[in-house]
Structure 1
Amino acid sequence: MSADRVVQLRWEPRHVADDGRVELSYPGISVVSSRQGEVVDRKWVPVGEEPTFADDEALIAVLHAAWRWTRPAA
């Protein structure tokens, strides 16, 4: 792993206003990739009360890509 490439996981709900009167909130996990302190990528994956197999696979794919990114090719 390179010290200049960092991946952080953050619990971040998304807030969406439909018409300015009603705001909905969706729980999720942000996977934030930074290089030398600068954010270079951010992916948000929703997390529901009863996640499906597809939800699990989507999160695994995002995490796998992020952690592989921390190991630059030799």
Structure 2
Amino acid sequence: MGILIRDAQIDRDVRELAEQDGLTLQGAIGLAVRLELERRAERRKLVFDAAEKARARLAKFDLKGDGLSHKEFFDREYGDA
């Protein structure tokens, strides 16, 4: 399996990372991909935790039904009733 990098800037970046960390080119690419995947996983966790916190706060409110369908509700709200 191989990876062909045709972008000169990406090639320079990979080589710079490899040199800075004493890695092979393959190791530098692997490191960069692994770190990006970890960053994305952490971001997903933060978003999930924030959504859970919002759901918990919303769950404290009582739901009150007024017996209207969606159409009846919006007609009433927008003065179309």
TM over 0.5: no
Using the size of structure 2 for normalisation, the TM-score is: 0.30
**Higher RCO, Cα 8 Å, sep 6+:** 1
Higher helix share: 2
Higher strand share: 1
Using the size of structure 1 for normalisation, the TM-score is: 0.32
